[in-house]
Amino acid sequence: MKLDLSGLQSFPSIPGGAVDDLGVDLFAAPSFQLPACSDFDGFQKDAIQMVKPAKGTTTLAFIFKEGVIVAADSRASMGGYISSQSVKKIIEINPYMLGTMAGGAADCQFWHRNLGIKCRLHELANKRRISVTGASKLLANILYSYRGMGLSVGTMIAGWDEKGPGLYYVDSEGGRLKGTRFSVGSGSPYAYGVLDSGYRFDMTVEEAAELARRSIYHATFRDGASGGVASVYHVGPDGWKKLSGDDVGELHYKYYPVAPTPVEQEMTDAPAA
Amino acid sequence: MARYDRAITVFSPDGHLFQVEYALEAVRKGNAAVGVRGTDTVVLGVEKKSTPKLQDSRSVRKIVSLDTHIALACAGLKADARVLINRARIECQSHRLTVEDPVTVEYITRYIAGLQQKYTQSGGVRPFGLSTLIVGFDPYTGVPALYQTDPSGTFSAWKANATGRNSNSMREFLEKNYKETTGQETVKLAIRTLLEVVESGGKNIEIAVLSKEHGLRQLDEAEIDAIVAEIEAEKAAAEASKKAPSKDT
């Protein structure tokens, strides 16, 4: 059974022309041998199921008056085993753009670095920075061309360009959404609860950072697959800056300090008989 | 010498690519074309050779738009132009699709020039026999731009340039008379340049004006005739004032 892979051809391949390109084509469509098995669709489903639990994480990002806040936890889990408490889930694509990691760590890291290369090449060729719109579209197109092959990427691209702050959600299903508030990962429902109820467009950078920090903390409190350190970044007109990285255990006692229990009765020495 | 001009991929001993130079000859035989960049307008003008009576002149458009903010005029082989223009139009849309942004003039010029260069370095093909004048506005900053490409694949930005027949005399005229202009003055400068080498009259000149607000607008014959009349009147007035002082002496 021959599969029709013409849908995987990536832009911009222009038809016609008897000429061959010299050199490596960074935009070539992915091509590798398909596994020879009787049930290809079932195989695809299994491949996706294998990586599905890996989206154990909490990441969030939102746009406000002063730019974009990006925050994430730092726990990596394999089933019930916590494999690391210090994973960098906020990836620095370039000095004015950040990406978040949810899903397969290798997939996220590799494709974000690849995106960074493409952004730099765009800058060099066009003498102007690429927009957040353009960068997120480049990533989304790549992920779409690998659709169904088992990539697991749920990322947010946040940055500041000529049009101001920009935030896009891009995933390995090929989806791409523009928005002002996103949270991705197994802890995202808890983070959304705190984020949505505390969000205002007019916040100072400190207020916004504290909102992000609390949202991540509450998600790590209830979600077993999230934990470690809550990192908060801010993207402004001059680029991104890391604001804080707090251990969520310490945050817990900061928000809910242990009150000393009132003593009902003190033990006294028995009077000497 | 003759042995080095058969296949494009062969250099001559003194470093020439003869096919490219012959392509430039084809350009020199093409119709005259001029482009002028103003501060808020860019103008393209092309010489219109006399249309046969039975030909529908509307089907012979020499100035075309590549996108809503970019226009192109060329001199040389018109059939090659069609192919190049179609590829450029596809690239404009492809760019809009992949980065959600319109192309800059520099980007599409680089693309067209790159295409022209590819055909000077491949087997079994010949270069495109045309030079193009590309005008447009930067989609963000709104700054107008004029670029020229040629069959060798080089490109550069210009304040005003001419190509095709008698391009040297037109360029000399432009060098003497160019100054920063706006709106109608830019159109007049383009027409005056063309009139240096073309029989005067609206039916021998095709003018297109690209402005930020109104996009590409082809001037019709009556408008061109009116401006030509204005120019002739100005010329006559200048002649008269030149003669007047000498009468006193």
Of residues A61, A98, A57, the one with CA closest to residue A179: A61
Mean pLDDT, residues B177-200: 90
pLDDT, residue B201, reads 67
Cβ contact, residue pair B122, A20, below 8 Å:
yes
Number of H helices, E strands in chain B: 6, 10
What residues of chain B lie within 8 A of the CB of A131, using their CB? 99-101
Burial of A193 (0-12, 13-18, 19+ CB in 10 A): middle
A126: closest CA of chain B, how far (Å): 7
The tokens describing B203, both together, are: 């039916």
Interface of chain A against chain B, CB under 8 Å? 11-12, 14, 16-20, 122, 125-127, 130-131, 133-134, 137-138, 141, 162
The minimal CB distance from B107 to the residues A16, A17, A126 is found for: A126
The minimal CB distance from A162 to the residues B118, B125, B140 is found for: B140
pLDDT, residue A18, reads 35
What residues of chain A lie within 8 A of the CB of B106, using their CB? 126-127
The minimal CB distance from B124 to the residues A18, A125, A134 is found for: A18
pLDDT, residue A20, reads 42
What residues of chain A lie within 8 A of the CB of B91, using their CB? 12, 14
Per-residue pLDDT at B31 exceeds 50: yes
The minimal CB distance from A131 to the residues B101, B119, B124 is found for: B101
In chain A (273 residues long), the average pLDDT of successive 10-residue segments reads 55 41 50 71 69 75 96 88 90 92 87 93 90 94 89 93 94 93 94 96 96 96 94 95 94 90 79 73
User: One-letter amino acid identity for B198?
Assistant: V
What residues of chain A lie within 8 A of the CB of B127, using their CB? none
pLDDT, residue A3, reads 57
pLDDT, residue B5, reads 59
Residue A107 CA to residue A172 CA, distance in Å, equals 10
Cβ contact, residue pair A134, B122, below 8 Å:
no
* Helices within chain B (DSSP H only): 18-29, 78-99, 105-118, 167-177, 183-195, 221-248
pLDDT, residue B61, reads 81
DSSP code per residue over A201-262: SS--HHHHHHHHHHHHHHHHHH-TT--SEEEEEEEETTEEEEEEEEEHHHHHHHHSPPPPPP
Of residues A90, A101, A59, the one with CA closest to residue A195: A59
pLDDT digits over A179-209, tens only? 999 999 999 999 999 999 999 999 999 999 9
Q: Which residues of B69-101 are buried (b: 16+ CB within 10 A; e: fewer)?
A: bbbbbbbbbeebbeebbebbbebbebbeebbeb
Cβ contact, residue pair B98, A16, below 8 Å:
no
**CA torsion A71→A97→A68→A72, rounded to 10°?**
-10
The model's confidence at residue B122, banded by pLDDT at 50, 70 and 90, is confident
B220: closest CA of chain A, how far (Å): 36
Of residues B81, B156, B153, B86, the one with CA closest to residue B113: B153
Q: Give me chain B's average pLDDT, please.
A: 89
Q: Most A CBs within 10 Å: which of B82, B98, B105, B119, as the mutation test of the A interface?
A: B98
Pairing mode, if any, of strands B155-157 and B160-163? unpaired
Percent over 90 (pLDDT), chain B: 59
pTM, 2 dp = 0.78
Pairing mode, if any, of strands A76-78 and A154-161? unpaired
Residue A134 CA to residue A128 CA, distance in Å, equals 12
- CB B31, CB B164: distance < 8 Å: yes
Q: Which residue in A has a C-alpha nearest to residue B141's C-alpha?
A: A162
Of residues B30, B8, B33, the one with CA closest to residue B78: B30
Q: Which residues touch B178 (CB under 8 Å, ≥6 apart)?
A: B36, B159, B160, B189
Residue A272's SS3 state is coil
The tokens describing A86, both together, are: 């210090």
Q: Which residue in B has a C-alpha nearest to residue A142's C-alpha?
A: B98
- CB A170, CB A157: distance < 8 Å: yes
Integer angstrom CA distances of residue B187 from A96, A193, B156, B171, B180 = 43, 61, 22, 16, 12
Cβ contact, residue pair A11, B94, below 8 Å:
yes
Q: What is the ipTM of this complex?
A: 0.73
Residue pairs between chains A and B whose CB atoms are closer than 8 Å = 45
Cβ contact, residue pair A14, B119, below 8 Å:
no
Residue B110 CA to residue B94 CA, distance in Å, equals 15
Cβ contact, residue pair A14, B118, below 8 Å:
no
Of residues B156, B154, B129, the one with CA closest to residue B27: B129
- Taking the CB of residue A267, how many other CB atoms lie within 10 A of it? 6
Of residues A75, A61, A67, the one with CA closest to residue A211: A61
Give the active site residues of A.
Answer: 57
A204: closest CA of chain B, how far (Å): 30
Of residues B190, B187, B216, B219, the one with CA closest to residue B202: B219
Percent over 90 (pLDDT), chain A: 58
The minimal CB distance from A133 to the residues B100, B107, B124 is found for: B100
What residues of chain A lie within 8 A of the CB of B117, using their CB? none
CA B188 to mean position of chain CA atoms: 16
User: One-letter amino acid identity for A92?
Assistant: E
What residues of chain B lie within 8 A of the CB of A137, using their CB? 98-100
Q: Which residue in B has a C-alpha nearest to residue A18's C-alpha?
A: B125
What residues of chain A lie within 8 A of the CB of B125, using their CB? 18-19
Cβ contact, residue pair B91, A14, below 8 Å:
yes
pLDDT, residue A32, reads 64
The minimal CB distance from B87 to the residues A14, A125, A134 is found for: A14
